[in-house]
Amino acid sequence: MFKTVDCPAVFLMTFFTRRNFTKEKITPMITNDCRAAALSTRPVLNSTDLYAKIALNIGKRSGLNYLSKTVWFDIEDNTLRLDITLDCGQCFRWEKTGSTWRGVIFGKSISAVQSGGNIHFEVICADADNKESIRAMITDYFDLKTDYETVLAKFKQMDILRRAVEFAPGIHILRQEPWEALCSFIISQNNNIPRIKGIISRLCESYGEELPDGSFGFPASRRLAPLSAEDLSPLRSGFRAKYILDAARKISDGEINLNALYSAPLDECVTRLQTIKGVGPKVAACALLYGLHRMECFPLDVWMKRAVRELLPDGLPDELLPYAGLAQQYLFHYTRMTYGKQRVD
């Protein structure tokens, strides 16, 4: 379904030009370093480590010291489309510049460029030597081991889901960090996507750990738990500040064990999450679907309730209930884009 392949020389040019190096400046540097390593500047497979070494040498001479903490690799998957998956309302820390998506996941700074079924990744992190675990993290985050082709074939047997899938094929349900997903959807209440992203960005810059490239990780619940609503005022999160703090305290002191919600009965999970101030059925369902990959969850807000009444009046057939969350995501994105709606509450 997917496979990882090595990083060819052509990505050296891509890497540096995305960092504002001119082609005229970087071409001779790449050529000289490749020649010194007895490599052709044409793509050569099975040379990832050598190309990484060349990038490191050039980076050091150019002041990009964080490249020593960078891992490069490719993944091939024909079912995932980054442009849809990262911009369909399920995550808020990815931004696209040109052809490059950049985000931070699990304390690692990620850049991704997709060309057809091939996705090139650059991962900047403190544990860059552990390449296989980083590949595994990316594979898990983008849910690349799920057989989406089979699921979508079942979706296409229903007219509305067929239209939604054909409108924007390639959505995967991300496996996000549970606390980040919960906190993000608390922030999403009665909010729009640009503002949600702004609040989360300020939260990370204020209280997250700084990463080697100058970006910031998502702050742990224990980091936020001792704070006051006044401390969070620079985030401009409004009434949500007290909800963020209550969630952080309940998670950090163990009153709610998010890891236990991976396998607990769904009704029990929803009940537990709703003990957090400001968390209702919709936020709880989003936290479970996007943070704990409970694919049977079907988040419903006012917008989606209306869409379901009009487009899915008889509900989902039993065989699709285990994938209700994916069906919801397709319907949500289809209706949002069709009618131009940008709210996610």
pLDDT tens sequence across 141-199: 999 999 999 999 999 999 999 999 999 999 999 999 999 999 999 999 999 999 999 99
Residue 152 is predicted with a pLDDT of: 97
Task: Tell me: do 70 and 15 sit in the same domain.
Answer: yes
Task: Tell me: do 103 and 228 sit in the same domain.
Answer: no
Residue 3 is predicted with a pLDDT of: 41
Task: Tell me: do 189 and 107 sit in the same domain.
Answer: no
Task: Tell me: do 184 and 134 sit in the same domain.
Answer: no
- Kindly state whether residue 20 falls inside one of the protein's structural domains: yes
Residue 237 is predicted with a pLDDT of: 97
CB 113 within 8 A of CB 99: yes
Q: Which residue has the higher pLDDT, 170 or 8?
A: 170
Task: Tell me: do 14 and 140 sit in the same domain.
Answer: yes
Task: State how far the Cα of 11 lies from the Cα of 145, in Å rounded to an integer.
Answer: 26
pTM > 0.85: yes or no: no
User: For the CA atoms of 115, 116, 117, 123, what is the dihedral angle to 10 degrees?
Assistant: 20
Task: State how far the Cα of 171 lies from the Cα of 4, in Å rounded to an integer.
Answer: 20
Find the farthest-apart pair of alpha carbons in the chain and give their distance in angstroms, rounded.
67
Residue 212 sits in a domain whose CATH number is 1.10.340.30
**What digits encode the pLDDT tens for the residues 274-311?**
999 999 999 999 999 999 999 999 999 887 888 898 88
For 41-62, what is the mean pLDDT? 48
Question: Does the pLDDT of residue 241 top 90, yes or no?
Answer: yes
Task: State how far the Cα of 249 lies from the Cα of 259, in Å rounded to an integer.
Answer: 16
21-25, 76-80, 220-224: the lowest-pLDDT one: 21-25
Task: Tell me: do 105 and 214 sit in the same domain.
Answer: no
Q: Which domain holds residue 208?
A: 178-292
Q: Phi and psi at residue 158, in whole multiples of 5°?
A: -105, 135
Give the bridge partners for 97, in sequence order. 100
Task: Tell me: do 52 and 117 sit in the same domain.
Answer: yes
Question: Does the pLDDT of residue 250 top 60, yes or no?
Answer: yes
The total domain count for the chain is 2
Residue 21 is predicted with a pLDDT of: 53
Task: Tell me: do 120 and 17 sit in the same domain.
Answer: yes
- C-alpha closest to that of 269 among 189, 178, 143, 331: 178
Residue 93 sits in a domain whose CATH number is 3.30.310.40
- Kindly state whether residue 304 falls inside one of the protein's structural domains: no
- Kindly state whether residue 262 falls inside one of the protein's structural domains: yes
Task: Tell me: do 31 and 100 sit in the same domain.
Answer: yes
- Kindly state whether residue 121 falls inside one of the protein's structural domains: yes
Average confidence score pLDDT of the chain: 84
Question: Does the pLDDT of residue 39 top 50, yes or no?
Answer: no
Distances (CA, A) of 30 to 5, 17, 23, 57, 342: 21, 12, 10, 10, 44
Task: Tell me: do 113 and 189 sit in the same domain.
Answer: no
The fraction of the chain above a pLDDT of 90, given in percent, is: 65
CA atoms in the 13 A half-sphere facing the CB of 35: 6
Task: State how far the Cα of 54 lies from the Cα of 37, in Å rounded to an integer.
Answer: 8
**What digits encode the pLDDT tens for the residues 119-128?**
999 898 877 7
Q: H or E stretch including 337?
A: helix 324-339
- Kindly state whether residue 170 falls inside one of the protein's structural domains: no
